[in-house]
A and B are shown apart, each in its own frame.
Chain A
């Protein structure tokens, strides 16, 4: 089942790439169809999911692959990965719908995005470090071509920067993986076996070094301050769908790596480094928010809010490593909040980037100063952007609040000092409201007159993302029911 989900888009990508006679419309609709089938498959997965228990996986599949180094094709899902798998399927379908009328090289674009979808899903279901790493790196390759091939502005340079920076990060990650392999006995790359064995438990120095390598690798991808500088140019110059996938899906690979690999395999080292991680989280939250506040380019601003939003996740995960007294419940709340934030940020930021893409298609600029009073010619656009902005600033009723409330309640209960990150949600609120004010209110001027309102395909791509955010915001149990047992299990694993 999982293999079907991962390899269906990859197979179709190969077919689409290999058949040059495929028309533009056929390619576009093939993309939508495959993404829709993927979503249905994930829905079936979700419906049949039962919590597999601590350090277990549901829908597990294992086939020998490179037995010489103890690596196998091993996949499965649990409460930490299933929500991300679902979110990935949703974001890619939204992009497929959004791109239905894009003109440029549709066949290549379809093939590339299906490839990206396959490898992204592969990362989230991988239960073997080598499988994880292969998909992780392939996602970087795919995104490089998306930015370089369909981007604008200084796309080639931004794509190269993105590629080199994140590729370097992945090398650090590989180093860490090899460290785990060498330290395990018997040598293995299997994540479940490594979690059960907790190698390097009694070797704090080596454990710390391996964790450092993994942390740096994941921190580049997440990204956290100070490894984030590839993000703004990559987003600014990427096409709308590329930005949506990059922010919505690819960034989560970093944070997912923390909960899947770093925390359960190296609990001892994680606890030892917890304060460092908390501080990195706090700095990312505040730094990302402040820098975003100063931006005049809408896409750059959204990019920096991603640094802020990822910071909340890091903050919460760091707090989980601070074992003090009877705080298991609070730490579990924090982990749950962090996983919700991954899903929530994926939905909301994808919506924001797709909406920003509309501005470029219509008026060719992301500069907020070039607009004004845009709500007059484009009321639907204004309404959806406002909802997405409020979702992103953590307004209750939308998913961001569920994430941030749990992150803060849990983190503050474990480590009161994390409250100094609270102004982050205030600054985010201010910057989004200022952006709304600059672009949409006041007299209609600049690029605004004649700005066409959202079309059907734009509405149908962004609308469902926000509707899901609303669903999670009002009835969070649909999501939390899956996440909760897994986060409680993770808290136990880190506490070992």
Chain B
């Protein structure tokens, strides 16, 4: 079944074009309604595309098409991306007050890039959208560009994820060499080691975007962007797309034999370690950021163990949860000017709509039954258990940590003792999207429960069965941990607060050495290479001068000397020519006598 390609094209081209125009033209008014209408239309188109499953393809680079295809996986994720974008833009209409043209334009480009990523069926199309997404995230994180630290955080995000993106360039080369062409679906058929190279490249790229270990640190700085940016970046675009890519190439991971387990372990380790990091944070947005990396860990784990259906369900449900929490944090930040958890005390009581919505999301994040992430996470963990009990145990630990950090945030916002010095309010435009997202956060778990889980598993992979026992075990663990958090003070060791020191490590291992090399080479270029060239050039005049000296002092002097000798010879030759006849006779006699002597000697000697 394949619907009209125009739907798919319009879904991508519309937000991209309108976004570019808005970002470049920066109209003083009208940006918000234009963006909302565009995003609304895009959402309609996204649902239409999900229902009709169109595909388009046009010749792009040599030997590879720009191919987009709404397959079953994309059909699940594309409406999610469009809807979350729309809701985030509605919130932004009430939350972002300056440079609205630039902001909404960039957000639309960002969303368009995410939509292309989700539907990409060939490496060039994927890499195209993938890097545009990274660059847009740079511009959005550094949206308030008068603050250098925010721009700098955007730079870190872009460079870190681009480092990982290099994997896709390698994968493209491997696809070309492996004889499969650049269609993503054909990669598992690659020849010999080329298939492994392609898999490795794709995995690295995906781990970078999904902020998995060791790339996680860029997410921390990314919090310096406006909250709506974080909401979109963590839920539906960028980070989520990292996890999504691994789900998309799951057949390739499975085909190599090693990439699946590796991915699974990276995912589950990230879920555990970033869970600890989240638990140690004192700042709400930092806590949420670390939890994003941790939750994406479950998606990555799903891709590694072949539970594509469960992973996709977790991705979609998490989008709703995390978009909501970031928007709520943004609303509080605008109203109170803080995101410190201690300062946010009782904030849920003050704005009950926001508070209740955020609480639903936090409970879902904790894995409380029957909310969404409870079921989706267990769908992933079930598959992990079939693969290895250790993976399952680590996954359960990560789930318990989710309950702990979600509990920490939840109790903080409900604890009595609100500050009274708030300056602003929370507008209706900011509240409305939260309610819708809360519904999503509550009910999207049905994706991982029968009967829908079975349908998803048929379409995507995995088996869709979640044993009741496991569901019960995880629900009980989540509830106990959540209640414990009411009483427990959380440990906050330095290494966890500082995101495992990953950024410092990257600085020390990659950034500073690179800069050192750069400066050393620049000095070499100026002082050695250029000077050598100048020296060679400079030696030419020296040679010329010495040639001139040889010319003046040797050659010319020799010529002059010869001339002098000749003149002296001339003088000598003039001496006998006296003009006196008697002297000529005398000379003649002398010559004849000499001749006679010579002749006689010659005759005698014979």
Interface residues of A (CB under 8 A from B): 161, 164-165, 226, 229-230, 287, 290-291, 293-295, 326-327, 329-330, 332-333, 336-337, 373, 375-376, 379, 383, 390, 395-397, 401-402, 405-406, 408-414, 416, 419, 422-423, 425-427, 429-430, 433-434, 436-437, 440-443, 476-477, 480, 484, 487
Contact = CB atoms under 8 A, between A and B. Distances in A.
Nearest to A473: B128
A396 B127 contact: yes
Contact of B128 (A332, A376, A397, A430): A397
A413 B130 CA distance: 22
Contacts of A484: 62
A433 B124 CA distance: 24
B61 A402 contact: yes
A396 B132 contact: yes
Interface of B: 24, 26, 58-63, 124, 127-132, 135, 138, 142, 145-148, 151-152, 155, 158-159, 162-163, 166, 169-170, 172-177, 179, 182, 197, 514-515, 517-519, 521-522, 525, 529-530, 533, 537
Name B's interface SS: helix
The 6 closest A-B pairs by CB, nearest first: A412-B173, A294-B522, A413-B177, A413-B176, A293-B518, A396-B128
Contacts of B58: 477
A115 to B, nearest CB: 27
B169 A408 contact: yes
A433 B145 contact: no
Contacts of B166: 422-423, 425-426
B177 to A, nearest CB: 4
Contacts of A291: 518, 521-522, 525
Which interface residue of B179, B525, B533, B537 has the most chain A CB atoms within 10 A? B525
Given A395-B135, A396-B128, A373 B146 contact: yes
Given A477-B58, A487-B62, 10 more contacts: A294-B522, A329-B63, A395-B131, A396-B128, A405-B172, A406-B62, A409-B182, A412-B170, A416-B177, A441-B142
A419 B173 contact: yes
Contact of B146 (A294, A379, A442, A480): A442
A278 to B, nearest CB: 14
A397 B132 contact: yes
Contacts of B152: 437
A212 B136 CA distance: 45
Nearest to A427: B514
B124 to A, nearest CB: 7
A386 B332 CA distance: 33
16 contacts: A229-B529, A287-B521, A396-B130, A396-B131, A412-B176, A413-B173, A425-B162, A425-B166, A430-B155, A433-B138, A437-B152, A440-B145, A441-B145, A441-B146, A442-B145, A487-B62
Contacts of B169: 405, 408-409, 412, 419, 422, 425
A410 B170 CA distance: 10
A481 to B, nearest CB: 9
Given A291-B521, A294-B522, A425-B166, A411 B158 contact: no
A329 B62 CA distance: 9
Nearest to B522: A294
Name A's interface SS: helix
Contacts of B177: 327, 330, 412-414, 416
Given A293-B514, A395-B135, A480-B61, A441 B170 contact: no
A443 B518 contact: no
Nearest to B517: A290
B112 to A, nearest CB: 11
A422 B170 contact: yes
A408 B173 contact: yes
Given A291-B522, A330-B176, A396-B131, A383 B24 contact: yes
Nearest to B524: A291
A19 to B, nearest CB: 39
A138 to B, nearest CB: 23
A437 B152 CA distance: 8
Given A229-B533, A395-B135, A433-B155, A406 B61 contact: yes
Contacts of B62: 332-333, 336-337, 406, 480, 484, 487
Nearest to B124: A405
Which interface residue of A165, A405, A414, A437 has the most chain B CB atoms within 10 A? A405
A333 B176 contact: yes
A406 B182 CA distance: 12
A411 B62 CA distance: 13
A440 B151 CA distance: 10
Given A291-B522, A333-B61, A229 B530 contact: yes
Nearest to A480: B62
A106 B388 CA distance: 78
A230 B525 CA distance: 11
Contacts of A295: 522
B146 A390 contact: no
Given A294-B518, A333-B176, A401-B131, A430 B159 contact: yes
A442 to B, nearest CB: 4
B173 A410 contact: yes
Contacts of A425: 162, 166, 169
B162 A408 contact: no
Given A396-B132, A442-B148, A290 B521 contact: yes
Nearest to A383: B24
A294 B174 contact: no
A327 B173 CA distance: 11
A425 B533 CA distance: 28
A336 B521 CA distance: 31
Contact of A226 (B26, B61, B529): B529
Contacts of B132: 395-397
Contacts of A373: 146
Nearest to A229: B530
Which interface residue of B62, B170, B175 has the most chain A CB atoms within 10 A? B62
A376 B525 CA distance: 35
B155 A434 contact: yes
